[in-house]
Amino acid sequence: MAADEMDGADSSELLRAPLVIEYPFNRTTGPVVGAFVTALRNRTVLGIRDTSGRVVCPPVEYDPRTGAPLEELVEVGDAGEITSWSWVPEVREGQPLQTPHALALIRLDGADTSLLHVVDAPGPDSVATGARVRIRWADEPTGAITDIECFELDGGAS
Amino acid sequence: MRDVAIVSVAQSRHRRAATELNEVEMIQPVIRQALDQIGASIADIGFTCSGSSDYLAGQAFSFVMTLDAVGAWPPIMESHVEMDGAWALYEAWLKIQTGAADTALVYSYSKASPGDLPRVMSRMLDPYYVGPLWPDSVAYAGLQARAMLDAGAITERQMAEVAHRNREAARSNPHAQVVGSASVDELLAAPMLSDPLRVHDCPPISDGGVAVVLAAGDRARAWVDRPAWIRGIDHRIDGHQIGARDLTTAPSVAIAAQHAGVEGTFDVAEVHAPFTHQEQLVLDGLGLDDGVQLNPSGGALAANPMMAAGLIRLGEVATRILDGSVGRGVAHATAGHLLQQNLVCVLEGGD
């Protein structure tokens, strides 16, 4: 295009290119994250005991308050309680459920902190803080947080 | 400690999509204005530091391209943070403290418009436990709002009042994107966007940028009559796992405020709270007296260019000191989701 044609170019003449989001690297997961995702493959959830005795789930390598290295992995339950949630009306690519659902923090039985995941629910009116939820496992676990396909409301939608 | 001041501030007119501009074209006039209005050129600048994100630019090392907007010849000493520009300013302030430079140009910018920003923002999160779930940034923020609502720390009406006050204030801000607001009752009658958040609780998606010039001591006094001196600056971070945090407080704001010397009275405060419920958390952490003028610019609810909205808060306070309209102000910037990381800066006029 000649330079004089650039003036007042309408939007159809603008150059466009796709924006692809990716992180094309592999990571090693280490002794704590690695143990957690390996346990998920066996349909078990692990937390870790911090220096004050709290069970942090999902587990962290270092104490959130003191920075001390943590080692004592402990098994927690596959059901728990919603501690906070929001509604996802418009599902985006890559999210665990492809229907509208709740994003939620869930404190699993035996844990003192909450895990982020999604809850399969028919609508926001059926979700509440304090509601009991249970893991629905993926059919073919791969050793990732998505081995938890989602959480289901205990006893079905209220 | 060396006395360091903000001596010049410029920002773009933020808008939803600067489709016809690339990043260089968008930020170059802003940088030019910041230098021109004090009669400076890049040769007067000892250190240049920028803040931007490759995830928004869609290109690795995208900030290197943007150096074209600076005019980096002969070679300049420069650095970059993949953070809001407020942290680039912190690095520049440190550089001047070391004596390695007496002046600095700091700028930050982003074009969020080419991508799906709420989705892109999920790439900032823990790649093992959270990233694979691709939580969008609005629903993610909703977890914090819900925790505050459940705890009685805020009401939906108070959240709507925050939106109303900020966007009404933006009427006098020539750079703002969302200007003016429907009444609080009308806002509350709107449907939920992502329960418990309505549209008014969320920041706009903005393309834009900001540039400031820093100078030490007599160099600052030579450039302007009334430098905006940085009397204290500090930044702190909360734990990265939100499920292990009490989401009804932002302890790192309070710690940063304490170390930045936030005490006594302030004429103005600019806080970086992208979502309505977060303003109260920041104010609780800052512990300001009543009577401070809060967010006269309209804050991030009026314009929220990613990577720039925090540095803009410092710029808004500095601009008011430079023009003589206020004597002392405090600025706050945040980075990450849910007020994870916070920077607080005390600015003051005078010799």
Cβ count within 10 A of residue B206: 29
CA distance B142 to B234: 28
Chain B: give the shortest CA distance to residue A11, in Å.
Answer: 7
What is the band of A2 on the pLDDT scale with cuts at 50, 70, 90? very low
- The reply to whether residue A103 touches residue B195, judged by beta carbons under 8 angstroms, is no
- Examine residue B19 and state whether it is found in any structural domain, yes or no: yes
- Examine residue B155 and state whether it is found in any structural domain, yes or no: no
- Examine residue B68 and state whether it is found in any structural domain, yes or no: yes
CA distance A150 to A100: 12
Residues in chain A with CB shorter than 8 Å from the CB of B132 are 94, 144-146
Tokens of B270: 């600019």
Q: Which of B195, B218, B283 is nearest to A121 (CA)?
A: B195
CA distance B305 to B88: 15
C-alpha angle B18-B20-A12 in degrees, rounded to nearest 5: 125
Residue B131 has pLDDT above 70, yes or no: yes
> A6 to chain B: nearest residue by CA?
B20
Mean local confidence (pLDDT), B156-168: 98
- The reply to whether residue A86 touches residue B140, judged by beta carbons under 8 angstroms, is yes
The amino acid sitting at B324 is: G
Tokens of B246: 């009490």
Tokens of B350: 């005078």
pLDDT tens sequence across A50-101? 999 999 999 999 998 899 999 999 999 999 999 999 999 999 999 999 999 9
> Strand pairing partners for A148?
A137
Judged by a CB distance cut-off of 8 A, whether residue A88 touches chain B is: yes
- Examine residue B250 and state whether it is found in any structural domain, yes or no: no
Q: Which of B309, B263, B315 is nearest to B286 (CA)?
A: B263
- The reply to whether residue A84 touches residue B123, judged by beta carbons under 8 angstroms, is no
pLDDT tens sequence across A114-146? 999 999 999 999 999 999 999 999 999 999 999
Mean pLDDT of all residues belonging to chain B: 96
pLDDT tens sequence across B20-70? 999 999 999 999 999 999 999 999 999 999 999 998 988 888 999 999 999
Residues in chain A with CB shorter than 8 Å from the CB of B247 are 84
CA distance B316 to B335: 18
Residues in chain A with CB shorter than 8 Å from the CB of B137 are none
Cβ count within 10 A of residue B96: 24
Tokens of B250: 């932002």
- Examine residue B120 and state whether it is found in any structural domain, yes or no: no
> B193 to chain A: nearest residue by CA?
A89
C-alpha angle A6-B69-B121 in degrees, rounded to nearest 5: 95
> B118 to chain A: nearest residue by CA?
A92
- The reply to whether residue B132 touches residue A37, judged by beta carbons under 8 angstroms, is no
ipTM here? 0.94
Judged by a CB distance cut-off of 8 A, whether residue A94 touches chain B is: yes
Q: Which residues contact B221 (CB under 8 A, 6 or more apart)?
A: B227, B351
Residues in chain A with CB shorter than 8 Å from the CB of B255 are none
Q: What are phi and psi of B168, to 5 degrees?
A: -70, -40
Q: List the domain range (segments joined by +) for residue B24.
A: 4-115+206-223
pLDDT tens sequence across B249-295? 999 999 999 999 999 999 999 999 999 999 999 999 999 988 899 99
Residue A6 has pLDDT above 90, yes or no: no
- Examine residue B152 and state whether it is found in any structural domain, yes or no: no
CATH of the domain at B26: 3.40.47.10
What is the band of B221 on the pLDDT scale with cuts at 50, 70, 90? very high
Q: Which residue has the tokens 């659902």?
A: A101
- Examine residue B72 and state whether it is found in any structural domain, yes or no: yes
Per the structure, the count of domains in chain B is 1
Residues in chain B with CB shorter than 8 Å from the CB of A57 are 243
Chain A: give the shortest CA distance to residue B316, in Å.
Answer: 32
pLDDT tens sequence across B64-119? 999 999 998 899 999 999 999 999 999 999 999 999 999 999 999 999 999 999 99
Residue A156 has pLDDT above 70, yes or no: no
- Examine residue B238 and state whether it is found in any structural domain, yes or no: no
Q: Which of B251, B302, B233, B255 is nearest to B274 (CA)?
A: B302
Judged by a CB distance cut-off of 8 A, whether residue A80 touches chain B is: no
Cα-atom radius of gyration of chain A, to the nearest Å? 21
- The reply to whether residue B244 touches residue A113, judged by beta carbons under 8 angstroms, is yes
CA distance B29 to B39: 15
CA distance B275 to B294: 15
Residues in chain B with CB shorter than 8 Å from the CB of A7 are none
Judged by a CB distance cut-off of 8 A, whether residue A60 touches chain B is: yes
CA distance A144 to A40: 7
CA distance B305 to B312: 9
